[in-house]
């Protein structure tokens, strides 16, 4: 998978982008397991991508639900046994 960031919100620590091979839009944020830092990628549709790009409050609501692991069914890459926590 080749993830390309299109919008980065450094203050709230999340990104919006597209996975180049599939064309799938995503939201990502950093995660740390204690051994390694990485990003988790959650699939979103184009309408959500456009809304999140222009509506920070809506994006943050979604990102925070992902950080609480409420939307794990949208994970684009399933985590391993030592899943990290949002930074």
42-76 confidence digits (pLDDT tens): 999 999 999 999 999 999 999 999 999 999 999 99
Phi, psi torsion values for 64, nearest 5 degrees: -65, -35
74: nearest Cα among 29, 35, 38: 29
Report the pLDDT value the prediction gives residue 77, as an integer from 0 to 100: 94
* Residue 58 to residue 48: CA distance in whole angstroms: 9
Does the predicted TM-score (pTM) go above 0.85?
Answer: yes
8-51 confidence digits (pLDDT tens): 999 999 999 999 999 999 999 999 988 889 999 999 999 999 99
In the chain, domain spans: 3-86
Report the pLDDT value the prediction gives residue 83, as an integer from 0 to 100: 87
């Amino acid at each position: 998978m080749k993830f390309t960031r299109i919008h980065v919100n450094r203050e709230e620590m999340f990104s919006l982008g597209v996975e180049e091979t599939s064309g799938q839009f995503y939201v990502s944020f950093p995660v740390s397991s204690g051994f390694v830092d990485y990003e988790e990628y959650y699939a979103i549709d184009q309408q959500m991508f456009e809304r999140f790009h222009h509506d920070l409050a809506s994006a943050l609501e979604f990102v925070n639900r992902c950080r609480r692991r409420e939307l794990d069914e949208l994970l684009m890459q399933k985590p391993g046994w030592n899943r990290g926590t949002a930074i």
